[in-house]
């Protein structure tokens, strides 16, 4: 009895209620920082310790191997048991285990192999080649996404609807892919779950065996389950077993991966859940931060409903900074980080969050210039990302076609039919003639041929790009390197290419910023040319991609997307780029439930902070090489003013020439801003036809300058500045 009491020591009332529930299905709404992992593991330990179940009589499902390992480690610390044989792991891991035990019934060889994502893509490419399918019309990655999406919906090829020639062909490839996998005795990740589900559904004997074995099924991060995962859990649970689902509908942010927040409502109905335990006490953050998060998420509809609270006190107010431009925003963050560091805070205990990867570039530059070590969590630094390195390689070839390293990187990317054998011959020719690979290619095919395949097409492409690059600006060269090369088209056909396209657009922004920056002698001084400017930029990119990122184990500021931050916590958190179109992302407007998922993302971001939270936005930001004027994110307006500390009311242009900081936006807007933009963002104006309104944003410049004004009842209007005839009120 004493040991049982010890096991429950330190649990709050709601945690205690969840851990000691009787034999029934339950939904535990565990908010951010409320100790949900502790609840789950203590529940397992409690069931075993009170002899309600044996360690082999339950199944615990997590989403990552790391989470499964942590769960078993905690269990071992709580109870003197061997966890080795327990059914605790990820969906894929548990399905693999079950299929290994019943491979015959599942129609698999005993030695079936698992295809990872890269292997699956290679297999699809090989099949499409055998089927003579045009890989430009049917991009292999798109086909891969289609096949996996169908499987996650629980659909084989014969059950998939097709309405036109394109969808019929996709279904045909899926069908042939299935046949190929069966012949070869392999299964991809999505197949593991689908095959396992089909086995349990089809074979009553096996289904009854596992239903009688697993009387308790415990699921972590339940809000992230997809349709098939939920159906699989329902099959295993049957009519009498108990499902203990732990999750938070307010943290469901993986809709793009198939996660279905509706599973939580279905679970409540399907399992006739009597107990919804709301674990709302937060052990991470001060109440000002939690109240801000609660206020934001309260604007979402159809929530299961909970409000985080803490006994830790109000803490510091949420700080809001309105920057003049994105450079000013980055510099503000750097200054605050330095201040916190001087006060004794470790860099590793601070995080800088952003909505999309492309936003990291200007932040990285500011940190690099300030000599602050940083680490990009769950991703690569801007100039190390594959798509950026590809684009830079094309720029390097425009500057110097004899650059063998750059040539080898992109000679067959995007794919143009140059195989290993062709490259070997090219390298042999270069060695024999003691010349560069480019010269060897020219020796072989001359000037190449427009529309040609293989090396002929590549040589023609580089010559064409070099010709087009003569006499144009650095940003236009970057545009050339991302479009004419075929990179943009390649990633547009990629299921997961959106981030990569944003990064390529940000590269153009980087070149504009670099050009506007007073960096080196590139203004045709002493005969220097734009070509020299490009060389300087390429050198700059190489330096920023160098060794500045801190190695693991060293104190460093953490940079990451909001998605990557889930499950983490930091003493101080900076959330940057809080403008409409960035956060919430502009794509959310066209997606069903998109805005609500964006709000859940904001909720996740805010609840990462323990003590101090900074929210920043900029009046102007350079995107895709052009200055854009934005309005603050609606999420900022959803936070009660009493929780906020506004660090500035009227941002002013600052000169950050020292330290090599970009001055792109300030160069674009000052000193002629007053003449070019006669009305400030937020200014009240009057129009003869539409009445009184408020200036929202500007687009374009010069004769093409347009102004967007919200005229209230008359709606949002876009007017040509030249003809608007506006009157300031």
Residues near 341 by beta carbon (within 8 Å), at least 6 away in sequence: 347
Rounded CA separation 483/268 (Å):
50
Residue 391: CA count within 13 A, CB half-sphere: 35
36 is annotated as an active-site residue: yes
Q: What is the DSSP letter of 235?
A: H
Rounded CA separation 679/728 (Å):
8
Handedness of CA 408, 411, 417, 423 (dihedral sign): negative
Q: What is the DSSP letter of 684?
A: E
Active-site residue, selected from the candidate residues 152, 221, 224, 597:
221
Q: What is the DSSP letter of 138?
A: S
**Longest CA span, the chain:** 88
Active-site residue, selected from the candidate residues 306, 355, 608, 708:
608
User: Contact at 8 Å (CB) between 254 and 224?
Assistant: yes
Q: For residue 715, count CB atoms less than 10 angstroms from its CB and return exposed for 0-12, middle for 13-18, buried for 19 or more.
A: exposed
608 is annotated as an active-site residue: yes
Active-site residue, selected from the candidate residues 42, 62, 231, 251:
251
Rounded CA separation 235/208 (Å):
10
Rounded CA separation 562/574 (Å):
11
Q: Is 281 left (phi over 0), alpha (psi -120 to 50) or beta?
A: beta
Rounded CA separation 707/722 (Å):
10
Rounded CA separation 148/439 (Å):
44
Candidates 106, 248, 107; CA nearest to 566 is: 248
Helix (H) or strand (E) holding 525: none
User: What are the start-end ranges of the H helices in 607-688?
Assistant: 634-637, 664-669, 673-676
User: Contact at 8 Å (CB) between 147 and 190?
Assistant: yes
221 is annotated as an active-site residue: yes
User: What are the start-end ranges of the H helices in 446-575?
Assistant: 454-469, 474-483, 487-492, 498-516, 530-544, 562-565
Rounded CA separation 30/45 (Å):
19
Rounded CA separation 475/481 (Å):
10
R_g of the chain, CA atoms, integer Å: 29
Residues β-bridged to residue 561: 354
How far apart, in Å, are the Cα atoms of 591 and each of 148, 189, 253, 588, 685? Answer: 21, 27, 14, 5, 33
Rounded CA separation 65/91 (Å):
10
Rounded CA separation 298/577 (Å):
22
Active-site residue, selected from the candidate residues 15, 37, 331, 517:
37
37 is annotated as an active-site residue: yes
220 is annotated as an active-site residue: yes
Residues β-bridged to residue 353: 560, 575
Rounded CA separation 436/594 (Å):
51
How far apart, in Å, are the Cα atoms of 259 and each of 63, 132, 270, 415? Answer: 12, 34, 18, 33
142 is annotated as an active-site residue: no
Reading the block at residue 672, the tokens are: 């002629």
Active-site residue, selected from the candidate residues 152, 188, 220, 506:
220
Rounded CA separation 154/197 (Å):
8
Helix (H) or strand (E) holding 17: helix 13-19
The full DSSP string for 18-43 is HHT--SS-EEEEE-TTS-HHHHHHHH
Which residues does the annotation mark as catalytic? Answer: 36-37, 220-221, 251, 608
């Amino acid at each position: 009895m004493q040991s049982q009491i010890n096991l429950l020591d330190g649990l709050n009332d709601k945690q205690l209620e969840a851990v000691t529930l009787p034999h029934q299905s339950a939904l535990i709404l565990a908010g951010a920082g409320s100790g949900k992992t502790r609840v789950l593991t203590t529940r397992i330990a409690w069931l075993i310790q009170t002899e309600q179940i044996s360690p082999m009589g339950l199944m615990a499902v997590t989403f990552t191997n790391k989470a499964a390992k942590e769960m078993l480690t905690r269990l071992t610390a709580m109870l003197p048991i061997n966890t080795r044989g327990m059914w605790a792991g990820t969906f894929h891991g548990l399905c693999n285990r079950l299929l290994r035990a019943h491979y015959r019934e599942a129609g698999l060889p005993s030695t079936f192999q698992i295809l990872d994502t890269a292997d699956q893509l290679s297999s699809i490419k090989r099949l499409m080649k055998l089927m003579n399918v045009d890989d430009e019309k049917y991009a292999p990655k798109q086909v891969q996404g289609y096949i996996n999406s169908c499987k996650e919906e629980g659909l084989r090829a014969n059950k998939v609807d097709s309405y036109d020639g394109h969808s019929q062909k996709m279904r045909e490839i899926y069908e042939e892919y299935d046949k190929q996998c069966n012949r070869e005795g392999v299964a991809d990740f999505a197949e593991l779950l689908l095959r396992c589900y089909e086995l349990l559904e089809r074979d009553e004997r096996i289904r009854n065996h596992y239903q009688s074995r697993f009387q308790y099924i415990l699921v972590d991060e339940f809000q992230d389950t997809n349709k098939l995962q939920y159906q699989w859990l329902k099959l295993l649970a049957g009519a009498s077993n108990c499902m203990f689902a732990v999750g938070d509908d307010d943290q469901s942010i993986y809709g793009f991966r198939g996660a279905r927040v509706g599973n939580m409502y279905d679970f409540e109905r399907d399992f006739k859940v009597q107990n919804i335990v709301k674990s709302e006490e937060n052990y991470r953050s001060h109440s000002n931060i939690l109240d801000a998060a609660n206020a934001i998420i309260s604007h979402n509809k159809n929530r299961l409903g909970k409000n985080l609270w803490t006994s830790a006190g109000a803490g510091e107010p949420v700080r809001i900074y309105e920057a003049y431009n994105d450079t000013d925003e980055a510099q503000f963050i750097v200054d605050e980080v330095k201040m916190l560091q001087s006060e004794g805070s470790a860099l590793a205990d601070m995080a800088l969050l952003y909505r999309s990867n492309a936003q990291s570039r200007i932040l990285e530059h500011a940190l690099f210039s300030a000599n602050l070590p940083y680490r990009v969590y769950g991703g690569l630094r801007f100039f190390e990302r594959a798509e950026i390195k590809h684009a830079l390689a094309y720029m390097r070839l425009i500057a110097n076609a004899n650059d063998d390293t750059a040539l080898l990187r992109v000679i067959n990317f995007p794919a143009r039919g140059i195989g290993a054998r062709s490259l070997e011959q090219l390298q042999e020719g270069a060695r024999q003639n003691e010349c560069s690979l480019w010269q060897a290619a020219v020796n072989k095919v001359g000037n190449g041929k427009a529309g040609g395949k293989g090396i002929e097409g590549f040589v023609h492409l580089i010559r064409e790009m070099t010709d087009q690059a003569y006499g144009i600006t650095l940003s236009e060269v970057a545009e050339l390197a991302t479009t004419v090369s075929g990179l943009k088209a390649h990633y547009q056909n990629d299921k997961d290419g959106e981030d990569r396209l944003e990064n390529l657009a940000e590269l153009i922004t980087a070149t504009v910023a670099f050009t506007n920056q007073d960096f080196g002698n590139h203004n045709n001084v002493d005969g220097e040319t734009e070509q020299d400017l490009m060389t300087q930029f390429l050198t700059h990119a190489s330096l920023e991609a160098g060794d500045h990122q801190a190695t693991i184990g060293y104190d460093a500021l953490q940079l990451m997307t909001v998605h990557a931050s889930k499950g983490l916590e930091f003493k101080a958190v900076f959330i940057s780029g809080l403008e409409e179109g960035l956060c919430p992302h502009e794509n959310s407007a066209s997606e069903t439930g998109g805005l609500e998922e964006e709000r859940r993302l904001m909720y996740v971001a805010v609840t990462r902070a323990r003590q101090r939270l900074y929210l920043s936005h900029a009046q102007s930001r350079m995107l895709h090489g052009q200055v854009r004027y934005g309005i603050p994110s609606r999420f900022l307006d959803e936070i009660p003013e009493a929780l906020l500390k506004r660090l500035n009311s009227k941002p002013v242009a600052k000169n950050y020439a020292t330290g090599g900081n970009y001055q792109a936006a300030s160069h674009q807007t000052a000193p002629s801003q007053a003449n070019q933009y006669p009305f400030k963002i937020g200014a009240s104006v009057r129009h003869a036809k539409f009445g009184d309104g408020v200036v929202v944003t500007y687009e374009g410049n010069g004769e093409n300058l347009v102004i967007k004004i919200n005229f209230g009842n008359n709606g949002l209007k876009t007017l040509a500045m030249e003809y608007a005839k506006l009157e300031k009120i």
